Amino acid sequence: MDRFRMIFQYFQSNSESVMNGICGLLALASVKMYTSFDFSCPCLPQYNVAYGLGIMFIPPIILFLCGLILNRQSLVMLEEWRRPAGHRKKDLAVIRYMCSSIMQRAMVAPVVWIIVTLLDGKCLICAFSGSVDPERFVGFANVSTVQVQQLLAKVPCKDDELMKNNTSRKAVSRYLRCWSQALGWSILLILIIAAFLARWLRPCFNQATLLQARHWSNYIDMEQKIFEETCCEHSRLFAHKCILHFFESMRHEIKLHSFSLPREGEEAEGEEDLLRGITDQDQVNKLLKTWYYEKPPLDVS
Amino acid sequence: MDKFRMIFQFFQSNQESFMNGICGIMALASTQMYSAFDFNCPCLPHYNLAYGLGILLVPPFILFLLGFVLNNNISMLAEEWRRPQGQRGKDPSVLRYMFCSMAQRAMIAPAVWVSVTLLDGKCITCAFCTSVPVDTLGNASQPHLSQGEIQRVLARIPCKEIYNGQQLIANEVAVRYLRCISQALGWCFVLLMTTLAFLVRSLRPCFSQAAFLKSRYWSHYIDIERKLFDETCTEHARSFAKVCIQQFFEGMSTDLVAARCHLPRKAPADAGEAAEKLLGITDQGTMNMALKSWHRCKPPLHLHPPALPTGNGWAGQGQPPTHTSAPRRETAAYYSWV
Using only C-alpha atoms, chain A has a radius of gyration, in whole angstroms, of 34
Nearest by CB to A294, from B13, B86, B179: name it: B86
Phi-psi region of A43 (alpha: psi -120 to 50; beta: other; left: phi over 0): left
Whether residue B274 lies inside any domain: the answer is no
What are the φ and ψ backbone dihedral angles of B139, each rounded to 5 degrees?
-100, 105
Closest CA of chain A from B260, distance in Å? 30
Residues B202 and B213 in one domain: no
Residues B51 and B163 in one domain: yes
Closest CA of chain B from A185, distance in Å? 26
- The pLDDT, as a whole number, for residue B137 is 83
Segment B78-97 shows an average pLDDT of 86
Residues B72 and B221 in one domain: no
- Judge contact between A153 and A44, C-beta under 8 A: yes
Contacts of B172 in chain A (CB under 8 A): 157, 159-160
Above 70 in pLDDT, residue A173? Answer: yes
| Amino acid code (one letter) for B270 | D
| Contact criterion met (CB < 8 Å) for A238 and B86 | no
Model confidence at B268, pLDDT cuts 50, 70, 90, reads: low
Above 70 in pLDDT, residue B2? Answer: no
- Judge contact between A225 and A4, C-beta under 8 A: no
Which of A4, A40, A73 to probe the B interface (max B CBs under 10 A)?
A: A40
Model confidence at A282, pLDDT cuts 50, 70, 90, reads: confident
| Contact criterion met (CB < 8 Å) for B228 and A238 | no
State the Cα torsion A183-A189-A193-A195 to the nearest 10°. Answer: 80
Residues B182 and B220 in one domain: no
Nearest by CB to B224, from A161, A235, A278: name it: A235
- The pLDDT, as a whole number, for residue A259 is 56
Whether residue B291 lies inside any domain: the answer is no
More confident residue, B257 or B55: B55
Nearest by CB to B9, from A233, A240, A279: name it: A233
| Contact criterion met (CB < 8 Å) for A291 and B229 | yes
| Contact criterion met (CB < 8 Å) for B232 and A298 | no
B333 touching chain A per CB within 8 A: no
Residues B115 and B1 in one domain: yes
Which residue of chain A is at minimal alpha-carbon distance from B206?
A82
Residues B80 and B68 in one domain: yes
Whether residue B89 lies inside any domain: the answer is yes
**Distance from C-alpha of B240 to C-alpha of A272, rounded to nearest angstrom:** 9
Residues B65 and B84 in one domain: yes
More confident residue, A267 or B103: B103
Window from A9-13, B166-170, B294-298 with minimum mean pLDDT: A9-13
- The pLDDT, as a whole number, for residue B275 is 66
Is residue A81 helix, strand or coil? helix
Which residue of chain B is at minimal alpha-carbon distance from A247?
B232
Residues B161 and B230 in one domain: no
| Contact criterion met (CB < 8 Å) for B197 and A236 | no
Residues B70 and B139 in one domain: yes
Residues B195 and B233 in one domain: no
Nearest by CB to B84, from A229, A272, A294: name it: A294
**Distance from C-alpha of A133 to C-alpha of A142, rounded to nearest angstrom:** 12
Whether residue B316 lies inside any domain: the answer is no
Residues B157 and B226 in one domain: no
Domain that holds residue B225: 209-259
Contacts of A38 in chain B (CB under 8 A): 119-121
Residues B139 and B243 in one domain: no
B235 touching chain A per CB within 8 A: yes
